[in-house]
Amino acid sequence: METLCSYGCVLYRLSQLDKAEEVYRRALLLDPDHVESHCGYGILLNRRGQKTEAGLHYARALEIDPEHVESNFRYARLLEEKGEPIEAETYYIVALKADPESSKLHLYYARLLAQHGLIHGARVHFRYALKISPEDVEAHCEYARLLARFGHRHEAEVQYKKALELNPGHFGSLSGYGDLLKEKGQYTEAEKIYRQAECFRQDAW
């Protein structure tokens, strides 16, 4: 069963969705309670835009194993997309309890909290994500944006600088750092940063 499920996953990664679906269906015929197959099939259906069907498979996986990390994460993401953040939070929390060392889970949960203005909780989970994966440039950049949005300019600057140490050509960090310097009235420094951003991604202007 594990081999069939792994085969379906590989076919999915290769974008051979019809074949992957056939394999997942076969796996679930052989074992209707196979959690990984329900989760994998749900991911495939979600990619095809079949959100309701995907949700049914995530929900079935969680009936069998309520602490299954990937199913909780995927179901949370699906609920977010449907505009149900409170329900999504429940599944993020369960996933994080089961796997507290997942930087991905901390990052997505931080994003959810940030989108709803819950800055304290968002900061906590951004910090956890960056403690686990300190070289995640996008996470540094997103955290910097959040800090800047709520007026924590010095801390935002620190995060932008860390992102740019890791990737000097990261457009989002260059753009955000430029905006921050402009807001602080440091126009000469901002001009230099904007010029760098223009060099790295002219089509984004």
Which CATH number goes with the domain that contains 195?
Answer: 1.25.40.10
Residue 188 lies in a domain: yes
Asked which of 40, 65, 90 is the last residue of a domain, the reply is 65
pLDDT in tens, 96-137: 999 999 999 999 999 999 999 899 999 999 999 999 999 999
What is the reported pLDDT for 182? 94
| pLDDT band of 2, cuts 50, 70, 90 | confident
Quote the number of domains for the chain: 2
With beta carbons less than 8 A apart as the criterion, state whether 68 and 60 touch.
Answer: no
Residue 146 lies in a domain: yes
CA separation, residue 191 to residues 106, 158, 188 (Å): 34, 19, 5
DSSP state of 117: T
- What phi and psi, each to the nearest 5 degrees, are found at residue 65? -140, 90
| pLDDT band of 205, cuts 50, 70, 90 | very low
Residue 75 lies in a domain: no
Residue 1's domain spans which residues? Answer: 1-65
What is the reported pLDDT for 201? 67
Residue 203 lies in a domain: yes
Q: What is the total residue count of the chain?
A: 205
Closest CA to 186 of 155, 137, 153: 153
pLDDT in tens, 26-55: 999 999 999 999 999 999 999 999 999 999
CA 151 to chain CA mean position, Å:
24
Residue 95 lies in a domain: no
Handedness of CA 138, 142, 145, 147 (dihedral sign): negative
Q: Which residues contact 90 (CB under 8 A, 6 or more apart)?
A: 76
Which tokens in the block code for residue 68?
Answer: 């299954």
Residue 76 lies in a domain: no
